[in-house]
Amino acid sequence: MRLVKFLAHGGVASRRKAEEIIAKGVVTVGGEVVTDPAQDVEVGDDVRVNGSPVGVESREVWAVNKPAGVVSTAREPGGRPAVVELVKTEARLYPVGRLDVDTTGLLLLTNDGELANLLTHPRYEVPKTYRVRLRNAIADRDLERLRGGVQLEDGPTAKAQVKRLGGREIEITLREGRNRQVRRMVEAVGNEVDTLQRVSFGPLRLDDLPKGKARRLSDREVAALREASR
């Protein structure tokens, strides 16, 4: 197994973050510093990060209904609650993507770096659906603009699925993952987000999971997530 994959499976970080950690020269294998993420390692090798041993953990995937005010990080130096604190497990989990601190709803946590990469890499276009309550009523012409893509400062957005739920409420499904994308799209059509909730990630739906609670996904649900990225 490649070193970067070993670290991801060991719950250290996602593959992309693990590559950054390796490049810093803080990873050792058998007491020797290794900076090549492709170096082969085996289960049982003495792999350490900053002197702490790394072993391959049993892989876990959890769904969390993130409340507002909780940050989508593994640790929060500023004192605000971090989403990993909502999960009761000994595994070292990290979020699959992020939700803004004021955005609520479905967030996945895992120690499976390969799965996290499949679900977040732009080329796999895994859909995510959000329920949006707007500050003002939205016209049909603006819904069509959102469906066709709008111009943002970092380029035009891809086409989106948009469904009207009420005068000030819509549901939008994206296959991109830009920073604060839903909020910026709404602002581009002259409106503003009042509340924002993610209700699905690929085939997985939030359903009746209570706010602030978490549940571990079944093997069947994890398999369905993997299938969604193909």
Q: For position 109, which CATH number holds?
A: 3.30.70.580
Residue 77 confidence (pLDDT) = 62
List of long-range contacts for 223-227, beta carbons under 8 Å, 24+ apart:
225/61, 225/108, 225/115, 225/118, 225/119, 225/201, 226/115, 226/118, 227/203
3-state SS class at 29 = strand
Provide mean pLDDT across the span 113-131: 91
Q: How many domains does the chain have?
A: 3
- The answer on 165 and 114 residing in a single domain is no
Provide mean pLDDT across the span 187-195: 98
Domain with 162, as residue range(s), is 127-201
- The answer on 135 and 30 residing in a single domain is no
Provide mean pLDDT across the span 13-24: 88
Residue 10 confidence (pLDDT) = 77
- The answer on 208 and 112 residing in a single domain is yes
Give the dihedral sign, CA 134/66/10/31. positive
pLDDT at 212 over 90: yes
Exposure on the CB side of residue 213, measured as CA atoms within 13 A = 7
**How confident is the prediction for the chain on average, in pLDDT?**
92
pLDDT band at 15 (very low <50, low <70, confident <90, very high): confident
- The answer on 214 and 194 residing in a single domain is no
Q: At what angle do helices 113-120 and 219-228 cross, to 10 degrees?
A: 40
Q: What is the pLDDT of residues 75-90, one digit of tens each?
A: 666 678 999 999 999 8
- The answer on 113 and 22 residing in a single domain is no
Q: Which residues, 6+ apart, have CB-to-CB distance to 62 below 8 Å? A: 87, 89, 93, 108, 109, 110, 214, 215, 216, 217
- The answer on 109 and 211 residing in a single domain is yes
Residue 125 confidence (pLDDT) = 92
- The answer on 156 and 48 residing in a single domain is no
Residue 219: active-site member: no
pLDDT at 204 over 90: yes
One of 100, 112, 140, 207 is an active-site residue; which one? 100
Q: What is the pLDDT of residues 32-63, one digit of tens each?
A: 999 999 999 987 789 999 998 887 677 899 99
- The answer on 118 and 136 residing in a single domain is no
Residue 78 confidence (pLDDT) = 65
pLDDT at 8 over 70: yes
